[in-house]
Amino acid sequence: MKALSLFCLIALSACSYFYDDIFITKNLPKAKLHQKYDAEIKMKEQAIIEDKFAVETDLNKDSGLTLLANQGTTFSHSTTVITGIPQQTGTYNIHISGVARSGLKKFDKIFIVIVEKKA
């Protein structure tokens, strides 16, 4: 009985695990104050459970940057765009999380946009 319980536990944990390889983009480039900035966060194109997908950010109107989620063509969630002309130096976070349908793989990553003064 213990062996069966252990097997079931291992099988269930294998079906639902943290999926770190879903993001094609690993890091975002640094932004320069008062210079045009365009960056994309790309994910592998695959089915995502829509009500589990979330994009959160602390980018605000005063930063000069805009976040456009769900910009992919085949799968809407596959591209998140950050664009604008930074008006303030600082560090901003973009948190993307969700669950991929294939194997119910969870993903959770924070991307950082650093806005620096011009050199």
- The token duo for 88 is 């303030």
Give per-residue pLDDT as tens, 32-51: 999 999 999 999 988 888 89
Sign of CA dihedral 113, 59, 65, 47: positive
Q: Give the pLDDT mean for 18-28.
A: 82
Q: How far apart are CA 20 and CA 6, in angstroms?
A: 25
Give per-residue pLDDT as tens, 60-100: 989 999 999 988 888 888 999 999 999 999 999 999 999 99
Residue 1: the pLDDT is 52
Residue 13: the pLDDT is 44
| Residues 6 or more apart whose Cβ sits within 8 Å of residue 54 | 95, 96, 97, 98
Which of the four pLDDT bands, split at 50, 70 and 90, describes residue 11?
very low
Q: Give the pLDDT mean for 96-116.
A: 92
Phi, psi (deg, nearest 5) at residue 117: -70, 155
